[in-house]
Amino acid sequence: MGRDEGRPERLAARRPIRSYRDLLAWQKAMDLLELVYRLTLRLPSREAFGLAGQLRRAVVSVPGNIAEGHGRLHRGDFVRHLAIARGSLLEVETYLLALVWIGYVPEVDAEPALATCDEVSRLIAGLLKSLGELRFHGPRR
């Protein structure tokens, strides 16, 4: 199967959302999943059930929760699943930073995944805002 087979066409300006696969947040979360899986393949084999496993489980949870929430019948369920996806996303970011911190991955190699984390975070925040549920804007200074 080719790299783009099975992937939904990227959303153009304001097309109707018929499926979770039409959500740009889900599409970008899947891009993040691919980046993370490719990065974890380069980790030492002793990390297969450690940090690499934790990272993979967390990154799968992001698009999974976006999809599950979209498939629920109530707006509140979608909001709750978006919040869970956001939490998993922050977990992914933390694990990526840990890989750099302990020297398993150079920062330059983690940067594409970290940048995609930022993008997915903004997209989830946009969905929450559109649903009238964005209440937390980060820590107060």
Q: Is 78 left (phi over 0), alpha (psi -120 to 50) or beta?
A: alpha
> For residue 1, is pLDDT > 70?
no
Computed on alpha carbons and rounded to an integer, the radius of gyration of the chain in Å comes to: 16
- pLDDT at residue 139 is higher than 80: no
Q: What's residue 53's pLDDT? A: 94
- Residue range 91-120, pLDDT digits in tens: 999 999 999 999 999 999 999 999 999 999
Domains and CATH numbers, the chain: 20-130 (1.20.1440.60)
Q: Are 121 and 87 in contact (CB under 8 A)?
A: no
Contact between residue 3 and residue 88 where contact means Cβ atoms under 8 Å apart = no
Q: What is the pTM of this model?
A: 0.84
Per-residue pLDDT tens for 16-53?
778 999 999 999 999 999 999 999 999 988 887 899 99
